[in-house]
């Protein structure tokens, strides 16, 4: 049987169609249920590494 933590660590969600606020809001709501987030090229080009740093500050994998 697989633990829920193990399953969580295998789920990634793409944030490609979000703006900055919606992406951060989504991460805050789901960070305890999901293991990874993918920031697509368009989102990265629009908001840069600052968005990546903000997502990282949410302590997703805790």
What three-state secondary structure class fits 36?
strand
The pLDDT score that the predictor gives to residue 5 is 65
Question: Beta strand 12-14 with 36-38: parallel, antiparallel or unpaired?
Answer: parallel
**Residue 44 neighbours by CB distance under 10 Å:** 14
The pLDDT score that the predictor gives to residue 14 is 92
The pLDDT score that the predictor gives to residue 11 is 81
Lowest mean per-residue pLDDT among 5-14, 31-40, 49-58: 5-14
Average pLDDT over residues 26-47: 91
């Amino acid at each position: 049987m697989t633990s829920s933590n193990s399953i969580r660590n295998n789920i990634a969600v793409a944030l490609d169609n979000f703006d900055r606020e919606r992406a951060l809001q989504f991460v805050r709501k789901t960070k305890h249920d999901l293991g990874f987030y993918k920031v697509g090229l368009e989102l990265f080009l629009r908001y840069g590494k600052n968005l990546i740093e903000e997502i990282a500050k949410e302590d997703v994998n805790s």
